[in-house]
Amino acid sequence: MSEALTAEDLRPILQKLPLGERIRVARLALEAVGGMGDRAAYVARPPSVDEVSADDDGLSWEAEGWDELAPAR
């Protein structure tokens, strides 16, 4: 009997897929383990500090320099 595959074994294949297909594979994998929904997935592995920012002092449209990017009226 051959060895079971690991997630690391699948990495090279997944890296070749376009983003939409990667998302599809992820959804299929979640369904295969009992239909884990978004809530259960985030409980199992919550977003890291780098994924979500609560920084209230981000760039705003009122900041300097945005006028140069706005289309001419």
- DSSP type of residue 2: P
Which pLDDT score is estimated for 52? 65
Is 0.75 topped by the overall pTM?
A: no
Task: Give whole-number Cα distances, 54 to 2, 42, 50, in Å.
Answer: 47, 17, 10
Full pLDDT tens readout for the chain, 73 residues:
678 888 899 899 999 999 999 988 888 887 777 766 677 777 777 777 776 666 555 556 666 676 677 676 5
